[in-house]
Amino acid sequence: MPLPRALVRLRWPSFLAPFVLGSVAGAQGQDGFLHGVGHSDFALSYTFDAFDEFFDGDDRTSSAAVGEVERRAYALYTAMGLRDDLDFVLNAVYAATESDGTSAVPDEEDLQDLTLGLKWRAFEHPIGGALTSFLLAPAVKLPGGNYEDDGFSAIGDGQIDVRMRAIAQLQVRGCWIALESGYDIRNGSPDDEVPLNVTLGLTLSERLSILPFWSQVESLGGIDLNEVPARGSFKDLEQDSTQAGVSGYFGLSKSVYLSGMLRTTVDGSNVGDSEAFSVGLVVRL
C-alpha cells in the first residue's frame, strides 16, 4: 500500500558527522517516508551552533583556554525517488569553527563530509486506522575535504563511516512517529556508535508541520578529555550525546518550503553543551 504523496511530509535534512569536542551537528533522525519514482527534494540549510561549557567525561565544565566555540555549517541535501520503494539520499556539508579562548586555537573551515545513502521500504501495512512501515537505510560517510581532524577546532573526524540503520514508523492521519536506530562502523580511531533517534510529526495545516525530536548517540568506547594526550588524541574521545529539539516547515507553495530548527544538548560525554538553530529552503520536484 503506497503512501499517497499528499500525505508525505518533508523532514529537516540531517547531517550527522560529529565535530571534535562538539555535539552532533544534526541530531534529528530520518523518517519513514519515500518520494516515489521521479520525485525529488532539494534543500539548502544554514546551522549555527555554539557553546561555552562542555562535558569533560560526564562532568560539565568550562575553560578560559577553550572560551566560546562557534560553528557554522552550510548543507546541501537531496533525496531522489529511484523506485516507489527506494530513495537515494545525498548530503554535503561545508563547515567552519572558531574559538575565542586564550589557547589561540586556530579557526578551521573546509568541505566537511559527504553522506551517501539509500532508504528502502521493506514492509508497509495498515492496522486499523494506522499505517505501519519498516525501512532499511544504509549509508556511508566520506571526508569531503583535507581538513585538520585531530585538534580542538577540527570540523570533522576525517574518516569513513559505514552506517547500518533501520527506521520503524507509525502514521495516523496527519500525525506520525518514527524511530531510527542501528549500528555505525567507524573506520578509524573513534569507536563504533549506536544512534537512537525519535521524531514526532504533527501536521497543523496544509502548509505547516511541526516535528519535535529526541536523539541519543552512544559511543562504544574511548577516552575522556582529561586523558588527552596521556592516553590518546582528540580522535580517540568517547563522544556520547543526548539532544532534543523541534523543527518545522512552512509551505510557500506546493513545491517550496521554508524550514527551521531549534536544538539543545540535554546531556553528554566529551562534547560541547551546545545550543543550535537552523534555517533552510526546501524545493520539492
Mean local confidence (pLDDT), 12-19: 28
Peptide bond before residue 229 is cis, with ω within 30 degrees of 0: yes
Query: Residue 102: what pLDDT?
Result: 82
Comparing C-alpha atoms, which of 190, 172, 135 is closest to residue 17? 190
Q: What is the pLDDT of residues 92-144, one digit of tens each?
A: 999 999 888 887 777 888 999 999 999 999 999 999 889 999 999 999 999 98
Mean local confidence (pLDDT), 75-84: 95
Query: Residue 27: what pLDDT?
Result: 63
Q: What is the pLDDT of residues 150-205, one digit of tens each?
A: 776 678 888 899 999 999 999 998 899 999 999 999 987 789 999 999 999 999 98
Query: Residue 64: what pLDDT?
Result: 86
1 has a pLDDT exceeding 80: no
Q: What is the pLDDT of residues 18-35, one digit of tens each?
A: 222 233 344 678 999 999
Query: Can you list the domains of the chain with their CATH numbers?
Result: 5-284 (2.40.160.40)
Write down the number of H helices and E strands in the chain.
0, 15
Mean local confidence (pLDDT), 198-226: 93
What's the pTM value of the predicted model, to 2 decimals? 0.87
Q: How far apart are CA 113 and CA 177, in angstroms?
A: 28
DSSP symbols for 201-212: EEE-SSSEEEEE
87 has a pLDDT exceeding 60: yes
